[in-house]
Amino acid sequence: MKNTLKGKSGHTRFRKNSHRNDNMKEKLALSIVKRLTDNGFQAYFAGGYVRDMLLGLEHDEDIDIATDAKPSTVANLFPNTVGVGEHFGVMLVIKRNIPFEVATFRTDGESEDGRHPKSVTFADAGADALRRDFTINGLFYDPMKKKVLDFVNGKKDLKAGVIRSIGDAQLRFREDYLRLLRGIRFAAHFSFTIELDTWKAITDNAEKINRVSRERVFQELSKMLIGPHPDTAVSLLDKSGLLAVILPEVSDLKGIEQPVDFHPEGDVFTHTLKTLSFLQNPTPVLAWSALLHDIGKPATFSHTDRIRFNNHGRVSARMAKNILRRMKSSRALMNDVYACIDNHMNFINVTEMRLSTLKKFLSRKTLGDELELHRADCLASHGNTDNYTFLVSKKKEMDEAALKPKPYLTGKDLITLGFTPGPIFGVILDKVYDLQLDEKITTPEEARTWVKKHKKELLSH
């Protein structure tokens, strides 16, 4: 398994990150643990932080703390706390404006909605570990004694690279169906395998994912897509049956043939997975654009002289926007993904564009994500990235002033030249600006001269 080292005895030992002690968040979390233990309570780092520490990975998310101190005690020990779930034993302790979740050891009662337990009972660390989702997330770490507490054989599964539910897998997922997606995400992220009973429980309960709010599903999917192996995540979603429930439009890409000359890799679904595999630390905009960039191909499929998908870029953009709206994404993400997908077929013509058109292309707000989408799209199909290289080179040649220069003329200039304000102003100013971008006029004086010369022609429009 990755990120482990062999000790002198031959047994696998875990590697800690040497920079972790310099992490301010960790120091603040340690101060919380120290305060609790100094007052006679148990307190440990819990969950994902411990998992990643043992794997030798950086952990950028929150550091959660588990303790036997009751919420009221936590509130008394720390001056800045917020009760975000006191009924469930959860408090936020704020340190230097950073919130740390401090949760009392507990067991959960039966779930009433596939997410929230009807009741909780405060317990000890061992019982608390048994209520968690997967063994690799059920570990505690005592930072004072520098000791791992493992009640669920989590270290063994970390070493073996296995995702395994704690206890009864069916029960674990009934407690919170979002765990169906979390299991897939962890398997893809760490390149782990999913244990047989856990996998069966995921496939058995795939339809139940609809009981989870779309916002939570969207957040979990986004984490998968910006993770290190989004193609693996989507493949596992497909094999488990979850993809057809959450994103049937993506599932429908399977079996949609493509012209072999341009897409030797196979059908649209295979191409989508390959595109995802070429992403490198993608933004959410890029990741969702890659997943949905060809979503309109089934609707635009035709077979005449060859297989064609006429106007599939625009159709895919519209469908992607509708999907993201359904998933309750932000409006900003929706609009940027739409722009990326709508423009992704225009990369074919970039070497033949007029200078003004090329400059507008290179000054697009979403250009960075569009470039990376184009690169991955090409690598996942015909493999020719010449247009990507061309655009990167042109972008380096032109600074911001060259790409988006201040216009030589304004509406006030047109009034001075004898034009009456109206819709024609926009037409004239756009025409002059294109000439400026094409470098056919190079000064404000040349712009005014051109407008005077073509005044009659311009007014006829």
Q: Where are the domains of the chain?
A: 4-160, 247-402, 411-459
Q: Are 402 and 359 in contact (CB under 8 A)?
A: yes
Burial class of 102 by CB neighbour count within 10 A (0 to 12, 13 to 18, 19+)? buried
Rg of the chain (C-alpha set): 28
Tokens of 30: 């340690």
Nearest to 343 by CA among 299, 391, 383, 397: 391
**Whole-structure pTM over 0.75, yes or no?**
yes
User: DSSP strand E in 54-181: where?
Assistant: 64-67, 81-85, 90-95, 98-104, 106-108, 120-122, 139-142, 147-150, 162-163
- The class of domain 247-402 in CATH terms is mainly alpha
- Strand-pair category, 90-95 with 81-85: antiparallel
Q: How is the beta sheet containing 90-95 ordered, strand by strand?
A: 81-85, 90-95, 98-104, 64-67, 43-46, 139-142, 147-150
pLDDT digits (tens, 9 = 90+) for 103-160: 999 987 566 655 566 657 888 999 999 999 999 999 999 999 999 999 999 999 999 9
Tokens 């341009």 -> residue: 262
pLDDT at 285: 98
Phi/psi at 270 (nearest 5 deg)? -60, -40
Q: In the Cβ-directed half-sphere of 203, how many Cα atoms lie within 13 Å?
A: 10
Burial class of 310 by CB neighbour count within 10 A (0 to 12, 13 to 18, 19+)? exposed
Q: In the Cβ-directed half-sphere of 71, how many Cα atoms lie within 13 Å?
A: 17
pLDDT at 4: 35
The Cα–Cα gap between 24 and 81 comes to 19
Nearest to 376 by CA among 307, 255, 287, 268: 287
How many other C-beta atoms can be found within 10 angstroms of the C-beta atom of residue 151?
Answer: 18
Q: In the Cβ-directed half-sphere of 183, how many Cα atoms lie within 13 Å?
A: 36
Instruction: Give the pLDDT means over successive 10-residue stretches in the chain (461 positions).
Output: 33 39 81 97 95 88 93 95 81 94 84 60 91 96 96 97 97 95 98 98 97 96 97 98 98 94 93 97 97 97 90 96 97 98 96 94 95 98 96 91 90 92 91 92 94 86 68
Tokens of 253: 């890409």
Element (H, E) at 426: helix 424-437
Q: In the Cβ-directed half-sphere of 22, how many Cα atoms lie within 13 Å?
A: 4
pLDDT at 114: 53
The Cα–Cα gap between 333 and 331 comes to 5
pLDDT at 111: 61
pLDDT at 17: 43
The Cα–Cα gap between 442 and 359 comes to 15
Secondary structure class of 163 (helix, strand, coil): strand
Candidate CATH numbers 3.30.460.10, 1.10.600.10, 3.30.465.10, 3.30.540.10; the one for domain 4-160: 3.30.460.10
Nearest to 382 by CA among 235, 251, 292, 274: 274
Tokens of 179: 């765990």
pLDDT at 122: 84
Q: Are 241 and 200 in contact (CB under 8 A)?
A: no
**Per this entry, what is the length of the chain?**
461
**Distances from the Cα of 289 to the Cαs of 149, 298, 388, in angstroms?**
42, 17, 17
**Distances from the Cα of 320 to the Cαs of 266, 329, 333, 458, in angstroms?**
22, 11, 11, 40
Nearest to 134 by CA among 168, 90, 95: 168
